Structure 1
Amino acid sequence: MSIKKTLLTTAVGFGLTAGIAAADGHTSLTIAIVNNGHMINMQTVAEAYTAETGVELNWVSLEEGVLREQVTSDTATGGGQYDIINIGMQEAPIWGAAGWIEPLELSDDYDVGDLLPAMANGLSADGTLYAAPFYGESSMVMYRKDLTDAAGVTIADNDSWENVMAAAAAMHDPDNGVYGACLRGKPGWGDNMAFVTTMVNSFGGAWFDADMKPALDSDEWNAAINFYVELLGTYGPPGSEGNSFNEILALYNEGKCGLWIDATIAASFLEVDGVAYAQSPNAGNPVGANWLWAWAMAVPTGSPNSEAAHAFIEWATSKEYIQAVGNHPDFGWGSVPTGTRASTYEIAEFQAAAPFAAAEMAAIESAAPAATDLKPYVGVQFAAIPEFPEVGTAVAQEIAAALSGAKTVEEALAASQEAADAIMREAGYYE
């Protein structure tokens, strides 16, 4: 019997049909993950996978920006440090087309058709899936309804930014440790720029014009960034230029945030009472008001443990994994990874435990990553071009400088335009 068939029998408890490279405990997979809650939970849930299959799992858990830097460097150079990597929608199609990651080989029982189309499409190139979504997300407003009720204000779906600022002002009570708005400020193309780009989109702005020339000195960017700096600088917590997802999640769960506009997946980890949800604010342009993202799992090309890596990914992104988390004594149905499979939203236990589910699905389904007359590139909070991480990182530093007061908004945007133009010219997009 082949090794694949041998381990197939040991994996029945997980509903697996793919095989593992070895059943004797000598196969070891090194997995690079982002240090977000669902990924951390996976390490606990996967202890049963090792017990069942004998495959040892070595986890490298990194902060988002560090993960991107290390995984990109290792994968691009064929360094071979990792058998499985966390990547997202910005990287997966580009890396797949470049041959940096392997096409996924998934069994019929995996049910690829159950994946939400937005997620599957965003992780594919030319119809080939290169990364499997572990969890998916859009963005939405998460606000303390007890505080808005007490202040006599409301937040509606796709509300105006002016009303959002008014709500933040009404809830803002720094003497009692409550800040009206908690928003990303930490520099990084996937940190502050994830939120900032959606805000710019809603103001009618874009990263590039029709000729792929940077458009960061436009009136729309100027209006959006001035509003962002005013909102977060006036009603946000001190030191917001150092806050991203994990930092704000901690603040929110300490009762220090009136509203937070961020990844829908955050709702899985909110521990305070009285939270309500609304679709992302809009400054008049409904396209791109909320982002679309998936943290996904991929196999770098040339991994010596490719077969075992593919099999683990199949398990970790399967319907069976959702059941394993939902029924786990340490987690439960409110903690399952969401935003990936239609079937998750049909589970009665999940519906009962996840009051955010309907708002999350509405946000995912309304996200608009396709190129339009307003933007010539694919992506909502990013541009799906190889140069974007470099462009986004450079601009992120300038926006953080504007937020901290080290630069004016106008100075920051002028420097952003100059940096982005240099990168795009060097890449050959125009003379």
Structure 2
Amino acid sequence: MSTAVRTPASAGTATAAPASAKAPGTGTPAGSATAARLVRDPEVFGELAGQWDDLRRRSRSSTPFQSHAWLHSWWLSYGHPGRLRVVLVSRGGELVGAAPMMLTYTPLPTLVALGGDITDFSDVLLDDGDPDAAPALAGALHRVARGAVVDLREVRPGAAAERLYDAWAGPRRKLRDSVCLELPGVPMETLLERLPAPSAKRTRQKLRKIDKTGVTEHLVGPAEATAAVRTMLSLHELQWEGRGVTPEHLLPRFRAHLQRTVRKLVASGDAVLTEYRIGGETVASDISLSSADMVCGYLYGAHPRLRAARLDITTMLLRHDAAFAESSGRGTLSLLRGTEPYKLRWQPVPVPNQRFVLARREMAPGLALHTARILGRSAAAGLVRRYAARGGWTWRTRTTGRRSGSGRTAGGENRRTAG
């Protein structure tokens, strides 16, 4: 089911050019009015793949987490019936804006981005060549948010959601969210220059040991991806057996989501699934995602015998991702969320994600309450982490099963964490 959403003329209609003119860089009439609609039917959302990914190619800041393959598959595994709220804005029959949302209760009615805790970056999609796309989408989402607060988490700096935030006509708050760590997209030898000389020497020795072991890399194709994801998750479970694996990684819904998604992302070039083999046997496997300017490692699994042989698995994977970033001309190698010591040794740049909380004017008290809850929980979590860092007790989060004192930001996933 989809319904039309009325938007104010000032938020969606361009008048500077005649209807036959084209927006720069697009085939969309720049002078035609925008039309907004709300999609609540998962089947209708599923049929949007072609239009959605065409818009994503025109929204340069997007990541694979905003692909139709990722979002629709996530809904199939994690969505709740009746809660889907996908806001679309079109001009001349072509999508120029999209906000993939769902309705939750926290306990206030709240519109949140699709993707949940297993998604490192959330965003909306906006046609970079249409200057009116942001105000039009903001106006449509403003209309849909009647009686609800909008909460956009894990917004990467430079994301399209920043333009939505700037165009929002109502109360709004910008908060700090998880910290991501980033390295330049350069070869491993250049990354080694960031380390103190003794550490760089040890790392080179570890890499030579990996090479002497005879590890080979196999790039998995789309036809192999479903089985390869199953293998990777089996290795992941073996790797963390008895050591606090993230519970979500073992659930059928997570496996089904990755199998559906990775096959499509490998086919589209938005993901690389690599198997590391010794003597023809797969002993490790990992998934790397890529956007226009970034490569990021998402999840991996490795047989325990590699650790028993004292092979540095994360360095092996980092070398692969660094080579991929450099060869493809992507300037950023993201280590995603979390500030674990093994990441910090590479002297990465900390890049905080953002959290945007938006509301209509009549929902200003709700926005204030929702923001106070966020800040209160953040302060409490910070106190626990500091106490745990001094040797106090630890606790496990409900969503991730991670220890609060481990340095991992609760509520998110990335590849190279302890579980």
TM-score by length of 2: 0.31
Which structure exhibits the higher relative contact order, with contacts defined as CA atoms closer than 8 Å and separated by 6 or more residues?
A: 1
Structure with the higher fraction of residues in strand conformation: 2
TM-score by length of 1: 0.31
Structure with the higher fraction of residues in helix conformation: 1
